[in-house]
Structure 1
Amino acid sequence: MDKSGTAGLPGPIVSASHLADGAMPALSEFEFALVILGNAYNRWIAACSNAADGAGLSSMEVQIVHAVNHRERPKSQAELCMMFNIEDTHVVSYALKKLEALGFVESGRRGKEKIVCITDKGAAHCLEYRRLREKVLIEPILALGLDEKHVSEISALMRVMSGQYDQAMRSASSI
């Protein structure tokens, strides 16, 4: 038997075996899966947005336009940064400028704070994205017969893990 407990099968699928040799090999497997998933997801949302006439939006710009559209209420740059756990405010600022130039969002003020709202054009884009997502992503995934409760549990675990990585980052910064 090998490390994984299965005869003849490889151990965890990781990108760095020296990290998997530590106390928790499963975490290295999780991290590699997260990287692969993140890259696939970013390519997917940009491609779906482009198919929905997204004018060459990056994955971050796609996420931001959907967040601005969320619940049809204005969002500030700070709220968007917090929502996506983004420290570099310039990333969000650049995305908002591009989305505004495309006519997907419009800016205004809430007191001294700049806010953005979705436009009719932006909302239409989000609906077309949703239609395409249902057809080319959701339908095939449903055909796999995945348990939605299990997918929700994995999502909750990922949010918990993001907090652990944030705490570890703060600890590493103080070393």
Structure 2
Amino acid sequence: MTPPKTPSENEVGPIVSAAHLADGGMPSLSEMEFALVIASNAFQRWITRCTAAAGGEGLSSMEVQILHAVNHRERDKTQADLCMMFNIEDTHVVAYALKKLQTLGLVAPGRRGKEKTARITREGADLCLRYRDLREKLLVDQIKSLGLDEARISEIAALMRVMSGQYDQASRAATSY
């Protein structure tokens, strides 16, 4: 009988969605990209379902993110502010979200000079608070029970922001390639 293989002998390599990309010079980047895709899809599913449970049925993940951003610090936001904040190139995505949120009475239109702005309504702020309460109960408490180091989570978030800058730079290079 042969002894069981050690983990290093059984190693399958990085967990990726495209082995042909992981065969390049940085397999860990492919592993991170796949993790981002999975995390992004899970996050989008979570925020839409949490919002629905809080009374905001029918909002897309982008509309939920825009709603929370407009609510952020109770300051009016322009479409350009929101596009910059979320690194969104297609301004129509934000315009559509704002229009839907206005139609639902969750944000209200305003003006700052010549620019249109959006501000949170009482209904929108209340929905954001109900979302926060559900988030604490259903997500934060569960994640805290894992005993993860909050400083490490912040480090990972900072790394993700740095990496987004690298992807932006590579996108600009690819545009002129």
Shared fold (TM-score, shorter chain, > 0.5)? yes
TM-score band, normalised by shorter chain: over 0.9
In the other structure, the counterpart of 2:162 is: 160
Partner of 1:98: 100
Give the Cα–Cα distance (whole angstroms) in 1 for the partners of residues 113 and 105 of structure 2.
23
- Please list every run of at least 4 consecutive aligned residues from structure 1 whose deviation after the TM superposition is greater than 3 angstroms: none
Which of 32, 35, 55 matches 2:34?
32
The residue aligned with 1:14 is 16
Matching residue of 2:142: 140
Q: TM-score, normalised by structure 1?
A: 0.96
Please provide the CA RMSD for this pair.
0.8
| Structure 1 segments unaligned to the other structure (5+ residues) | none
CA distance in 1, matches of 2:127, 2:9: 51
- Give the one of 39, 42, 45 matched to 1:43: 45
Larger Rg: 2
Quote the offset at 1:46 in angstroms: 0.3
Aligned mates of 1:26, 1:6 — CA distance in 2: 17
Secondary structure of the corresponding residue to residue 14 of structure 1: coil
Query: Aligned letter for 1:20?
Result: A
Normalised to the residue count of structure 2, the TM-score between the two structures is: 0.95
Q: CA deviation at 1:94?
A: 0.4
